[in-house]
Amino acid sequence: MLDIDKIRSDFPILNQLIHKKPLVYFDNAATNQKPQVVIDAIVDYYSNYNANIHRGVHTLSQLATNAFEEARLKVKAHMNAENSFEIIFTSGTTHGINLVASGYSQLLHIGDEVIVSEMEHHSNIVPWQMLCEKTGAILRVIPMNELGELDMDAYVKLLSDKTKMVFVNHVSNALGTINPIQFIIDQAHKIGAEVLIDGAQAAGHIKADMQALDVDYYVTSAHKLCGPTGVGVLYGKEKCLLKLPPYQGGGEMIKEVTFEKTTYADLPHKFEAGTPNICGVIAFGVALDYLNELGFDNIASYEDELLSYATEKLEAIDGLRIYGTAAQKTAVISFNVSDIHPFDIGTIIDKLGIAVRTGHHCAQPIMNFYNIPGTVRASFAFYNTKEEIDLFISALKRATMMLS
């Protein structure tokens, strides 16, 4: 259902050579590539209507403001938020998480409990540890199993009337596991706790519906959706955002300022202090248009094909172990080969044009669970091909032979 040749022609970076070899880009979980329409949108903004937004009466400012707010409406529609003012633009997922954590520092008390999972990216661990240090709240952890799945029985037992917030990723960046977030949300709401979902790794594969999930907060990054870096989204229910204090003070987030007292602007501007990444937000809207035209069901179906094909090929390699074999996964494979260090494999196959990620992937608790220093991670996108997977497998076999 996807015209892969046509799609690949939309991404200029895929045409280049790396070390005189065709680029095979399998580092999509870190960031994916950008279609020409997104690149053109960036150039168009700076070439034709670069201006600051919201406060200007001149024509360029009005053009920029209209384009910026049109992008907000696109995000609202994409996420099925009830209101556009529930869409807060940030610099990325990490910013969105820290914004909520900062606000909660004034809402939690000694003895309150918050829950994270053993499967989190550091960005969804460290802010909550800092929050607990400030407030005296207690951090609880949902354990995982050998398959790379969260233990839902253990999760339910962790919940109590002391639980105020649950923080879980939608998809593991290190393993590709799709977590049962609907169950997690529903169970938390039963005891009156709120839920924040880190959607950074899910966003490029799964079109999450905010109203169907009934989630309190959902955060993601534009660069995982073929948009620019330095742009992210925090979705929050209106009632949740209203109770949070502002994260930063400055221009745009105010209603009135005197030396005696400042009153804050309404949503979403209350959380958007200073000049935002105007160009990045506009280009993000274009990226969403591009992906929705392809269709997320089509993207998921094709990426599942790539995942199955690559998994079968990798499992045939002697000494190779895949970490994260959950039944529900996105197109991410983390693995090691025998006792070869992942960095060495990544370095060698880079010389053959293959781009993968090596290391702990900002998920050290996962690596500690498996008692390994890190993995090689290959992550696929809708513009990748089975032929590229064949090149990757050939390069991997060559690297392991050299390093054995």
Residue 195, pLDDT above cutoff 80: yes
- Give the tens place of pLDDT for each residue, 71-125: 999 999 999 999 999 999 999 999 999 999 999 999 999 999 999 999 999 999 9
Q: At what angle do helices 386-403 and 342-350 cross, to 10 degrees?
A: 120
CATH topology of domain 39-292: Aspartate Aminotransferase; domain 2 (3.40.640)
Those residues whose C-beta lies under 8 Å from the C-beta of residue 224, and which sit 6 or more positions away, are 31, 32, 200, 201, 203, 204
- Give the tens place of pLDDT for each residue, 140-181: 999 999 999 999 999 999 999 999 999 999 999 999 999 999
- Give the tens place of pLDDT for each residue, 199-210: 999 999 999 999
* Rama region for 261: left / alpha / beta (φ>0; ψ in -120 to 50; rest): beta
Residue 328, pLDDT above cutoff 90: yes
**Element of type H or E holding 401:** helix 386-403
- Give the tens place of pLDDT for each residue, 341-368: 999 999 999 999 999 999 999 999 999 9
- pLDDT score for 237: 98
CATH topology of domain 4-28+295-403: Aspartate Aminotransferase, domain 1 (3.90.1150)
Q: Cβ distance 211 to 218 under 8 Å?
A: no
The domain segmentation of the chain, as residue ranges, is 4-28+295-403, 39-292
**What does each C-alpha distance from 15 to 7, 23, 31, 95, 362 come to in angstroms?**
12, 7, 18, 33, 30
- Select which of 132, 226, 279, 362 is catalytic: 362
Q: What is the pTM of this model?
A: 0.96
For residue 176, the tally of other CB atoms under 10 A from its CB is 27
User: Is there a catalytic annotation at residue 362?
Assistant: yes
The letter for the amino acid at 165 is M
39-292 has the same fold as 4-28+295-403 = no
Among candidates 378, 400, 393, which has minimal Cα distance to 323?
Answer: 378
Measured between alpha carbons, how far is 176 from 333 in angstroms, rounded to an integer? 7
Residue 32, pLDDT above cutoff 80: yes
